[in-house]
Amino acid sequence: MDFEDYIELVVKGFEAAGVLILAIGSLAALTGAAITFVRGDRNAAYEQARHDVGRVILLGLEILIVADIVNTITIDPTRESALVLAIIVLVRTFLSFSLEIELEGTVPWRRRPSPTGEPE
């Protein structure tokens, strides 16, 4: 095996990890929400599902972007692949930003710090 073969395995590993995070994390989030729903708190179940699935999507997207970056830099460093990566990163950034606003209810720079100094 040469260097590119190893890098392709790394890329495949990141892609598999991203998909597993999306699949398993979503199932776990929905299972937790279903348990809350069965206990009788429908509104909390909905909010919990939205929040937890949103967080899973953000994490999964981050891992998939790592795979795209490694692939573009090491395996296919062409203008076309760099342009595709730039578009993917822009879409992911917009999606991530939108999800953050949806989950937190405010834009990141408008969050008030908690008494411990951490953003709420």
User: Is 0.85 topped by the overall pTM?
Assistant: no
Is residue 21's pLDDT more than 70?
Answer: yes
Identify whether 117 is part of a domain.
no
Identify whether 116 is part of a domain.
no
Count of domains in the chain?
1
Residues 73-116 have pLDDT tens digits of: 887 778 888 888 888 888 878 887 887 787 777 776 776 666 66
Identify whether 57 is part of a domain.
yes
Identify whether 31 is part of a domain.
yes
Q: Return the HEC string of the chain.
A: CCHHHHHHHHHHHHHHHHHHHHHHHHHHHHHHHHHHHHCCCHHHHHHHHHHHHHHHHHHHHHHHHHHHHHHHHHHCCCHHHHHHHHHHHHHHHHHHHHHHHHHHCCCHHHCCECCCCCEC
Identify whether 119 is part of a domain.
no
Note down the domain range covering 13: 3-110
Identify whether 64 is part of a domain.
yes
pLDDT > 70: percent of the chain: 89
pLDDT > 90: percent of the chain: 28
